[in-house]
């Protein structure tokens, strides 16, 4: 018999439970200022490819924009779209600029590579297939 569903558990499209997803999104929302700072630093780094800088700039513009897919007034979920955009951009930057460049600019308390990869896995579960396809096409994956 399966464990009862806790109020903070999330059931994915395949019926899998992601009990710590809500906690991960909360943690990421708290880390958003550090993620924004990291994106800003990577834009100024000459080792980051120009196309990746443009993607990071677009992510920063989205996070700073008052217009969101999910309104910020909704607790937890309101910041999730900002976090997911920053995570997608950072995941791309880790691939293109290299792990060492990203780690060099990180001043958060967590391991940035593990943090980004874990949140990327969560974000991918929630992003619609057409959006994933478009993002992959834009970032050249």
- The pair phi, psi for residue 20, each rounded to 5°, is -100, 10
52/18 Cα distance (integer angstroms): 31
Q: Give the residue among 28, 30, 11 at the shortest CA–CA distance from 19.
A: 11
Q: Band of the pLDDT at 3, cuts 50, 70, 90?
A: very low
The predicted structure's pLDDT at residue 4: 45
Do the Cβ atoms of 49 and 96 come closer than 8 Å?
A: yes
The pair of structure tokens assigned to 70 is 């999910």
What is the per-residue pLDDT for 19?
Answer: 52
102-131: average pLDDT: 81
**pLDDT reading at 36 higher than 60:** yes
Q: What is the pLDDT of residue 101?
A: 93
The secondary element (H helix, E strand) that includes residue 104 is: helix 99-105
Query: What's the predicted TM-score (pTM) here?
Result: 0.72
Rounded average pLDDT over 106-131: 80
User: According to the model, what pLDDT value does residue 120 have?
Assistant: 84
- 110: which residues sit within 8 A by CB, 6+ positions away? 31
Q: Which residue has the higher pLDDT, 58 or 5?
A: 58
Compute the distance between CA of residue 137 and CA of residue 128 in angstroms, rounded to an integer.
14
Report which of residues 89 and 19 the model is more confident about: 89
The CB-based long-range contact list for 95-99 (8 Å cut-off, 24+ gap) reads 96/48, 96/49, 96/51, 96/52, 97/42, 97/45, 97/47, 97/48, 97/49, 97/52, 98/47
pLDDT at residue 48 in the model:
95
The predicted pLDDT at position 121 comes to 82
* Average pLDDT rounded to a whole number, residues 98-108: 89
**Structure-model confidence comparison of residues 82 and 56, the more confident one:** 56
């Amino acid at each position: 018999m399966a464990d009862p569903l806790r109020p903070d558990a999330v059931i994915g499209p395949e019926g899998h439970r992601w009990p710590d997803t809500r906690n991960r999104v909360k943690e990421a929302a708290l880390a958003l200022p550090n993620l924004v700072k990291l994106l800003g630093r990577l834009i100024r780094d000459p080792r980051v490819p120009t196309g990746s800088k443009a993607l990071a700039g677009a992510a920063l513009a989205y996070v700073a924009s008052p217009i969101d897919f999910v309104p910020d007034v909704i607790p937890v979920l309101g910041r999730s779209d900002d976090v997911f955009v920053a995570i997608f951009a950072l995941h791309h930057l880790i691939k293109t600029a290299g792990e060492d460049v990203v780690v060099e600019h990180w001043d958060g308390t967590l391991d940035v590579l593990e943090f980004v990869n874990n949140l990327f896995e969560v974000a991918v579960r929630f992003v619609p297939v057409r959006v994933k396809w478009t993002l992959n096409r834009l970032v050249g994956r």
